[in-house]
Amino acid sequence: MARAPLLRGGVLARRRLRYNERMQYTRLGRASVQVSRLCLGTMNFGTEADEPSSHAIMDRALERGLNFFDTADVYGGKFGEGLTESILGRWLALGGGRREKVVIATKVYGRMGEWPNEARLSALHVRRACEASLRRLRTDHIDLYQMHHVAEEASWDEIWQAFELLVQQGKVLYVGSSNFAGWQMARANEHAARRSFLGLVSEQSIYHLYNRTVELEVLPAASAYGMAVLPWSPLGQGLLAGVLGREQRGGRRAKEAVQKRILRHRAQLESYEALCDELGHAPAHVALAWLLANPAVTAPIVGPRSCEQLDSLLPALEVQLSQATLARLDAIWPGPGGPAPRAYAW
């Protein structure tokens, strides 16, 4: 794949300005840093997209005004190597203002080696993992350092002490969580407040039209604490991206796990794709627009495998869904009925 042109003067700079004017930005929760309403997920870098393709996607993302990139130390498909972070780091090292333009988010928790202290959230592993991520990313700081999962055996005093030190050293600016329950977010932030520490500014959760469990407690907790919500898998692993239409057109065969979900949700998918046809919008655009219409959502994380895929998702930012359409989507993909306990006890 041909590399996207570098971000420098002339025609490209004017094109970038135009696309930046179309891009939407918002605060990262109660932090004042501004991030694009779509976050570039890099989970496919090094697996579904090779390094030149990954670099081209990131160049295209900047050209289109995306300034928020998400990765993790465990991404890349090679145990313990941090391949995706390394790909991102080599791209940042190309210069041209790349590091200055991008808000980099990465994660800690996953197993990076066979020894006992090479995983989870001990102060020892958090420190070592951060240093390793900084080396791979070729930067002196991580903008958003996220706990990839909850480590229930670690006390919040130990966890916050480790993150406070990284912030004091200038190696981390903000701390976030991923895959936390609402009560765990609350507990983490209350412990941070007692230490006069900012605490969690974001939560990254699975959230899409047919998986709305986070509406019970995660979204209310995030709103109560001023936390950004970053939905991962916003298209339900492709299920909400027009999978039935691709079947009819003889497109690429869905993976077995997706085929099982298609079988289970076929009636809903037929209604959903018919509604999208009626609206005149691609199913992927409707799925993303539905998330963006929720004031609790900051930036869905999209994971393109090519520049063309990235370009195809950006029109979602311009889709406005009426209240009547939102109600029809609720009828097709019903949620839990609202936040807890209202959803089940009132």
Joined tokens for residue 205: 């959760």
DSSP conformation class of 133: H
Q: Which amino acid is at 286?
A: V
Contact by Cβ (8 Å): 154, 188: no
* Residue ranges with strand state E in the chain: 25-27, 34-36, 39-41, 68-70, 103-108, 142-147, 172-178, 200-206, 228-232, 301-302
Contact by Cβ (8 Å): 227, 201: yes
Phi first, then psi, for residue 126 (nearest 5°) are -60, -45
Q: For the CA atoms of 116, 122, 127, 133, what is the dihedral angle to 10 degrees?
A: 70
Contact by Cβ (8 Å): 42, 71: yes
Of the listed 19, 25, 75, 174, which one is catalytic?
75
**Calpha distance 286→280 (Å, rounded):** 10
**Calpha distance 58→42 (Å, rounded):** 9
75 catalytic residue (yes or no): yes
Buried b (16+ CB within 10 A) or exposed e, 22-52: ebeeeebbebebebbbbbbbbbbbbeebeee
Contact by Cβ (8 Å): 141, 172: yes
Contact by Cβ (8 Å): 36, 65: yes
Phi first, then psi, for residue 23 (nearest 5°) are -70, 145
Q: Active-site positions?
A: 75
